[in-house]
Structure 1
Amino acid sequence: MTSDSSSLTWRPLTPADAQTSADLLNAMETADQLGEFYLAEDTLQELVDPYLDRQRASLAAFDGNLMVGFMKASYKPATEEVHRVLVEGGVHPDYRRRGIGTVLVDAAVAAVKAQHARQHPTVKLVIVAQKAEHIAGAAELFRSRGFAPVFYSQHLVHPLGAAIPDSAVPDGLRVEPWSERNDEEFRRIRNEAFKDAGLAEMPVDNWQNRMINHTFRPDVSFLLRDVANGAAAGMLLTKYWEGDTVVTGVREARFVLIGTLRDYRRRGVAGTLIGHALRAAADQGFDQVRVSVDQENPVETFGIYEKAGFAPALRHVSWALAG
């Protein structure tokens, strides 16, 4: 550690850190301008992730009672050819350029490697960190620790209002809203549709923690079903962070999952779900909708969103380090 970072108090995160974690993320937002604000219940949801080993795979830096930096990494409960672990973290704007980020990244890499050895020692490990490309110093930090940029994800925003396109439901399919009865079908579509992108399956407890939580909007989440055989064809899942509205006054819905099963691709499933959900979001009083598209993800097509009326906003970089 540098002399600056060694003067701080370092310890793993705990659920009691929900408010101070939210305070740190909101302070970071003032500098990074991502359009993301947090309430304590948002950060608590992440801190009680069943696959976050807080004691061994998280670390926070404190200056007195002020959290000035953190990192955390949840392992994948299931994996196939590659165990991809997303490392999350950041440093308070007033404490940047003091070596704190370096300490956190190095600690995250060491923790993930140790965790990987315990959980999935026979498969390849890839450690991933995602940051908006405009954040000063991020590229320099990750390159210095051996990470390389591997792909970009584009945030797109839809203004709703008159820009919502008409979207006829394809013949032989019908739209139905999310319910507790079809929730398992939503999860199954997510797992099967995203295999092409190399994503591991999401088990029930992880699905409940990350997707069907306090940010989930069932009234703007839909499934498309085959009328003839009753099979699910695709789904769209929407979330909403109240913290954004508290600060900005803008109610923004986020389409966080859009998936189509292989047998139903190229039949307009994704476009239908997007159009239907845009209309529902407007009816529920949202001001705009945001979606993030991995530009090299074979599951998603950038053109679908442009056709639906989305416009580019921020772009994020995914940095990767082979373990």
Structure 2
Amino acid sequence: MSEVIWRPVEEGDHDAVVAAVDAASEADGLEERLSVDELAERLDGPGIDVATDSRIAVGPDDEVRAWGLVETRGEPLELDRVWIWGGVHPAHRGTGLGRELLAWQVERADAVHRATWPSHPGVAEAMAPGGSDSHERLFRHMGFTVLRWWLDLGQPLTDLPPVPDPPAGVRFVPYAEVDDDAVRRAFNASWADHWGSRQRDPDAWRTEVVAASVFRPDLSSVAVAGDEVVAFLLADRFPQDDEVRGHAEAWISTLGTLREWRGRGIASALIVRALHAFRAEGLDHAMIGVDAESLTGAAALYRGLGFVEEKRFASWSRPLG
């Protein structure tokens, strides 16, 4: 371990960090790849102080051997989930770097929790692919247990049903035709009963959603009743994944309906509308992520529209405070 130097991420490290992340993803059988823009945006997010919340292990050859972040994502409603993200380059696994990194992340996450939302129960939370023995061994060794399961659902953009008409009094409009803050407020209201949700302030909404390089407002839609945003569908695009995935796809990244407007088919109509928009853009696949235990019945809704499970991920957590 003496041959590496641990230090915060610097701007000149971005390419090397992305290379390490992508090498680890390939070794873990994951088909997602990181872009330099995505990394830069994440490091610049409102929930991160790069000097204290990032860490990389750099070898004598200047290769990034391990990387890690600790971040918060807005005001929690019940549980303060402090996110930890990181990994070890596959060429340097089994050397103890993972344990050293995770120990630092837990310590830092505890400090962040005590400084921000100590009145809420807190956990350090990390995501890992389901069935990964190496991740499970590391997390269990460090006192983590599975908190939640998440599903990635997908479907090819063939044989799509026609777009349903909106219910009476509701209009479907492109994202660009509505006020950003109105959609943010609708998000906060509609996601208030989703497990683990956080309230996003205007700064977080701007940096994490509107200004994100992956956000596609032209593929996103909003349901409006009068002057009120009652539902929304936000789409993201990750072109760097196309070659690895073997098709061009877009993600339905966030979907929400105000409680009093649920049960009228608005969400399913927004999804079908998005699928047609994706195909018109020349894409041939759609993806959506869902809480496997969601009480809103989201997984059943998506499956009813043709989505099938492609991958499963576990949230591993350890109590803080």
Give the aligned partner of residue 251 of structure 1.
248
2:199 to 198, 201, 211: 201
Alpha carbons 1:128, 1:320 under 8 Å: kept: yes
1:257-276 correspondence runs (5 A): 257-276=254-273
In 2, Cα distance between equivalents of 1:150 and 1:142: 12
Task: Could you tell me which runs of 5 or more consecutive residues in structure 1 were left unpaired when the two chains were aligned.
Answer: none
Letter in 2 for 1:41: D
Query: C-alpha displacement at 1:190, in angstroms?
Result: 1.6
Residue 304 (structure 2) pairs with residue 304 (structure 1): no
Distance 1:180 1:33 in 2: 40
Asked whether the 8 Å contact 1:12–1:58 carries over to 2, the reply is yes
Aligned partner of 1:231 in structure 2 is 228
Range that drifts further, 297-306 or 37-46: 297-306
**Equivalent residue in structure 1 for 2:114, among 113, 117, 133:** 117
The count of aligned residue pairs is: 317
The 3-state SS of whatever aligns with 1:304 is helix
Distance 1:240 1:303 in 2: 24
Q: TM-score, normalised by structure 1?
A: 0.93
Which one of 100, 103, 116 corresponds to residue 103 of structure 1? 100
User: Normalised by the size of structure 2, how large is the TM-score?
Assistant: 0.93
Q: Is the 8 A contact 1:28 1:91 kept in 2?
A: yes
Q: Which runs of 5 or more residues in structure 2 are unaligned?
A: none
Cα deviation, residue 39, structure 1: 2.1
Cα shift at 1:173: 1.4
Deviations 1:36-75 (A, max 9, x none): 1122112111111122111222211112211111110112
* 8 Å CA contact retained: 2:174, 2:218: yes
Between 313-322 and 62-71, the greater mean CA deviation after superposition: 62-71
Could you say if the C-alpha distance between residues 164 and 142 of structure 1 is closer, same or farther in structure 2, counting changes exceeding 3 Å?
A: farther
CA deviation after TM superposition for structure 1 residue 164, in Å: 4.7
**Take 1:93 and 1:312, find their aligned partners in 2: how far apart are those partners?**
27
Q: SS state of the match for residue 266, structure 1?
A: coil
Give yes or no for contact 1:59–1:70 (8 Å, CA) kept in 2: yes
Question: Which stretch of the first structure deviates more once superposed, 77-86 or 154-163?
Answer: 77-86
Name 2:176's counterpart in structure 1. Answer: 179
Counterpart of 1:172 in 2: which secondary structure? coil
Corresponding residue number in structure 2 for 1:39 = 35
Q: Are the aligned partners of 1:19 and 1:43 in contact in 2 as well (CA < 8 Å)? A: no
Q: What is the CA-CA distance between 1:192 and the residue it aligns to?
A: 1.3
Aligned residues: percent identity? 29
Cα distance per residue 1:268-287 (max 9 Å; x no partner) = 12101111101101011112
Give the match's secondary structure for 1:211: helix
Retained in 2: the 8 A contact 1:57–1:72? yes
1:80-91 aligned within 5 A: 80-91=77-88
Map Cα deviations across residues 218-261 of structure 1 (whole Å, 9 max, x no partner).
111011112xx432211010011121135556321011100111
